[in-house]
Chains A and B, each alone.
Chain A
């Protein structure tokens, strides 16, 4: 049971470089999310998707782009990395987002450092 898989687990970038984080889920979930975790701030939503081909902005979308070309995959892109994007990134998924008891299933996280 793979669940939610994120790659890579660690990455170091220089300011201005670009990269893509990949999230894959094998649970046939409709909803997928990207969060960032920073000390003292909990998890903040970057972007989310309610189904294949759809994306929407969350609380902190600036500097990030996403794509959901296939239902099982949700990509997070950084076009020009900045030190403020140093963080731990989590992908999550849920079967739907319309029921209040829908919990999130998380990937193992990506530690990103931007120098």
Chain B
């Protein structure tokens, strides 16, 4: 069963606007972590933001914030004031507690920022 779902294969956003990339996850483990990675066209994987299952507040890192809705098992990435350099693939990922191998990725969303 798919543990991480990203329903938007591709998204477009106008430069300077905000955009939300969707991510839903499936786990029965009460302890888990959620991650977002960015993969620009150059191919490297860049860590953006982390949210723990027990964190009370939504994570923020500069222009990135994570809209964490635990009951809905949703961890959407919000990018404010989009820039041309934000055009990339974005992957949502989850690590479940206690098991090193359980770091699973979603299929990704390709974001294109329009000038």
Contacts and interface: CB of A to CB of B under 8 A. Distances in A.
Nearest to B49: A103
Interface in A71-115: 88, 90, 92, 94, 96-98, 100-106, 108-109
A97 B101 contact: yes
Contacts of A35: 105
B43 to A, nearest CB: 5
A109 B43 contact: yes
Contact of A102 (B43, B45, B95): B95
Given A42-B105, A88-B43, A106-B44, A100 B31 contact: yes
Nearest to B99: A97
Given A100-B33, A100-B52, A42 B101 contact: no
Contact of B103 (A33, A50, A108): A33
Contacts of A56: 101
Scoring A42, A102, A106 by chain B CB atoms within 10 A of each residue's CB, the highest score goes to: A42
Nearest to A48: B101
B100 A96 contact: yes
Given A98-B98, A98-B100, A100-B53, A43 B91 contact: yes
Nearest to A105: B47
Contacts of A44: 105
B32 interface: yes
Interface of A: 31, 33, 35, 40-45, 48, 50, 56, 58, 88, 90, 92, 94, 96-98, 100-106, 108-109
14 contacts: A40-B9, A42-B105, A42-B107, A43-B91, A43-B105, A48-B100, A97-B95, A97-B100, A100-B32, A100-B52, A102-B95, A104-B103, A105-B47, A109-B43
